[in-house]
Structure 1
Amino acid sequence: MMQSRDSGVIGVDRRGHVVVIRIQRPEVRNALNLAVLEGLRDSLAEADRDDSVRVIVLTGGEGDFSAGADIDMLSGQTSAGYARSVNARCFKEIRRTEKPLVAAVSGFCLGGGCEIALACDVVIASDTARLGQPEIRLGIIPGAGGTQLWRRRAGDGVQSVAALGGAAIGAFTARRAGLVDRVVPCGGVIEEACQFGAELAKNGPLALPAAKRVMRASWNMSLSGTLDHEVSVMAGLLSSSDAAEGIAAFQQKRPPVFEGR
């Protein structure tokens, strides 16, 4: 079973069926270096493998989520080398996390940090949060989803302003645009995310990642294809013990006891 631990730049806190994974480089506003990205990748993969974990909260703490990548990670990169780089692969593997991800965002959430947050399924923000993609101001573009992920939540106009303008926006503007799902007072974002995660974790442990897979199928399929895929996954779940338990519990007016089978 995945346990609480502190391994330098990444901390893990176990809370029942919810695991909190925290970036821990506050002295540089949680800037992303290779150790952070590899730590996130490995911790998320471990949580995915652990059947007792149902929801993952990803945070940088109550200070800053992440001010983006260490500039040293980009300095000296070649066009061919970046596409094959370890850091590019880490971002891709983070996006592949199978279990529901809840981002708890405070302070600066910029560049690669913003790309990680917006790749999560639910984003809960502190009223101190500032989201942005400043890469254009360095003569480059976002390279880990920042030209696409804003659009999926907020539309083409918001995406264009973010990727072409480079300015950050505050939590309430982000909420109105649909980029974040909830805004809470400073100092309470992690607790709010954990409480929300605990509510999600009460649902079927097979159904949670299945629902995520089907929702994300739209990233690679047409609407018709994703609807057919939804039917296929739903049909498979109906044969599970969890589905029988959920239906029986509803009929008997009692809470379900899911076992993940």
Structure 2
Amino acid sequence: MSAPVTPAIPVVPDRLRAEVRDAAARLEDLVAALPAPAERGPDQRALAAEAHERARAARRRLLAVQADRLGREVVGPGRYRSLTDMAYDLADIVPGLAPSRAEMEVERGRRQSAKEGLEVDQGIVYSALFGSSVGVDLLRSQRSPTADACARLPEFQRTAVLEMSVVSVRRTDGVAEITVANERYLNAEDAVLGHELEVAVDLALLDPGVRVGLVRGGVMKHPRYAGRRVFCPGINLTLLCAGQIPFLGFVLQREVGYLSKIRRGLWDPGQADDPAARGGKPWVAVIDEFAIGGGLQLMLTFDYVISSDTAYFTLPAAREGIVPGAANLRLGRALGARLARQMLLGGRRIDARDPLATLLCDAVVGEDAVDGAVERAVRALDSPAVVANRHMLTASEEPEDQFRSYVAEFAEVQARRLYSPDVLHRLEQQWTKRQH
């Protein structure tokens, strides 16, 4: 009789987890012995950077063999879990793999140029997770409705209105009109705006009484734009400078959260076998004044875009030093490769009256003609056939796996750009100006 077979012990993963823990512990000891990041001299910064990279190399070796398994441990089937919460779970499962909640609390108290740069480690982890076999499930989990939206849905269905601090949504005749009114910052994007916009998008998609979604900027009180609507000037650079734009909670979450929900609809595992149920709903955007940076990124997810004839469009991300979300993936389809490069790399501006604007907008009208253009667009899109065809267009233009692959690359590239010397130098200059 043969001896029983002893199961193989996963020596390599255990050893790699120990390497991650040990490298993170050594890094922690070093950082504790050094001054705060903003007070370090050149030699101290170099010493810390070297220790960070050693710890990151250990994380990469572990993720190369265990990203699939770790992803399955944190991605909850059929329910929404934020990228931030999953990252904290990973920090508990493998200490040192990702920054802990306590470590990130300390980081949040520092301006961007004075942080330790722990969000780079979050970017490395999510790059591996999105690039693994669990990547598609991770993407789909972020298209589940948020708990906040699910809690607010009954009241919204009853009243047809939801007012939040900077975003509101109102249902009228099958149209969910979402108004963004972050007046203090002229509708610049931040974590609060991002969360509320995602809740509003969720409600529009969850409510069977909504057939078409509409997004427009609210009326501003800023002296320069008083009494006029503004769409979006992109990321809130004031808050980014102050270190209050979270990488996971906003920068990455918006790409796989409400932007993906507008483009692809909600993900419901119970309807996964019904393609018609995956088509989402058609969306209209109205661009007043400008769509800059993140505003233009948002434009690229809509089915129909109406612009006032005085508006303009630009992507200054290269000048700011960062990556403009998924615009690098999508803009070339709209404009062609050469013009897309001029906007992405050179910051070229396109005015609404420029013939090239027809590649970005479906209708360019005078201010007094916007309401009529909206009514016509909504009427044209209010059809079950539109839902089916937009689903097929998205499937052909941007297959889910193509987007997953892009996000996997974006996760680390963008995290590193947010902590690169040129970006931090620019932000430090802005910080200094605000102190005087």
The TM-score normalised by the length of structure 1 is 0.74
Match of 2:348 among 167, 170, 191: 167
The letter for the 1-side match of 2:322 is I
The letter for the 2-side match of 1:89 is Q
Match of 2:333 among 129, 136, 152: 152
2:235–2:293 CA contact under 8 A, matched in 1: yes
Match of 2:386 among 208, 233, 237: 208
Residue 200 of structure 2 is aligned to residue 43 of structure 1: yes
Residue 106 of structure 1 corresponds to 288
Match of 2:173 among 11, 16, 28: 16
Residue 261 of structure 2 is aligned to residue 96 of structure 1: yes
Post-superposition offset of 1:187:
4.3
1:106–1:189 CA contact under 8 A, matched in 2: no
Structure with the largest fraction of strand:
1
Post-superposition offset of 1:155:
1.0
**Alignment partners' CA distance in 2, 1:221 and 1:44:** 20
Residue 220 of structure 1 corresponds to 399
Write out per-residue CA displacement over residues 192-246 of structure 1, whole angstroms, 9 at most, x where no aligned residue. Answer: 2244213322x23xx3322221110020179xxxxxxxxxxxxxxxxxxxxxxxx
1:109–1:131 CA contact under 8 A, matched in 2: yes
Post-superposition offset of 1:157:
1.6
The letter for the 1-side match of 2:386 is L
Post-superposition offset of 1:116:
0.7
Post-superposition offset of 1:101:
0.9
CA RMSD of aligned residues (A): 2.4
Residue 249 of structure 1 corresponds to none
What percent identity do the matched residue pairs reach? Answer: 27
**Alignment partners' CA distance in 1, 2:351 and 2:342:** 14
The letter for the 1-side match of 2:393 is M
Residue 141 of structure 1 corresponds to 323
1:175–1:181 CA contact under 8 A, matched in 2: no
Residue 132 of structure 2 corresponds to none
**Alignment partners' CA distance in 2, 1:90 and 1:127:** 28
- Pick which of 2-11 and 112-121 moved more: 2-11
**Alignment partners' CA distance in 2, 1:109 and 1:102:** 14
Distance verdict in 2 for CA 1:108–1:186, change over 3 Å: same
Distance verdict in 2 for CA 1:108–1:6, change over 3 Å: same
SS at match of 1:197: helix
Distance verdict in 2 for CA 1:57–1:120, change over 3 Å: same
Post-superposition offset of 1:139:
2.0
Residue 289 of structure 2 is aligned to residue 124 of structure 1: no
Distance verdict in 2 for CA 1:90–1:221, change over 3 Å: closer
- Pick which of 102-111 and 23-32 moved more: 23-32
Distance verdict in 2 for CA 1:157–1:116, change over 3 Å: same
Residue 229 of structure 1 corresponds to none
**Alignment partners' CA distance in 1, 2:380 and 2:312:** 27
The letter for the 2-side match of 1:154 is L
Number of positions where the alignment pairs a residue of Structure 1 with one of Structure 2: 215
Residue 164 of structure 2 is aligned to residue 7 of structure 1: yes
Residue 414 of structure 2 corresponds to none
1:31–1:69 CA contact under 8 A, matched in 2: yes
Post-superposition offset of 1:130:
1.2
Distance verdict in 2 for CA 1:38–1:50, change over 3 Å: same
Match of 1:67 among 228, 233, 243: 233
Distance verdict in 2 for CA 1:131–1:211, change over 3 Å: same
1:126–1:187 CA contact under 8 A, matched in 2: no
Post-superposition offset of 1:177:
4.8
Match of 1:31 among 188, 207, 224: 188
The letter for the 1-side match of 2:379 is A
**Alignment partners' CA distance in 2, 1:51 and 1:211:** 19
Residue 58 of structure 1 corresponds to 215
**Alignment partners' CA distance in 1, 2:261 and 2:355:** 24
SS at match of 1:64: coil
**Tell me, which stretches of 5 or more residues in structure 1 are unaligned?**
223-261
Post-superposition offset of 1:123:
0.9
- Pick which of 147-156 and 30-39 moved more: 147-156
Alignment map for 1:185-200 (pairs within 5 Å)? 185-200=366-381
Distance verdict in 2 for CA 1:73–1:148, change over 3 Å: farther
Computing the radius of gyration from Cα coordinates, the structure with the larger value is 2
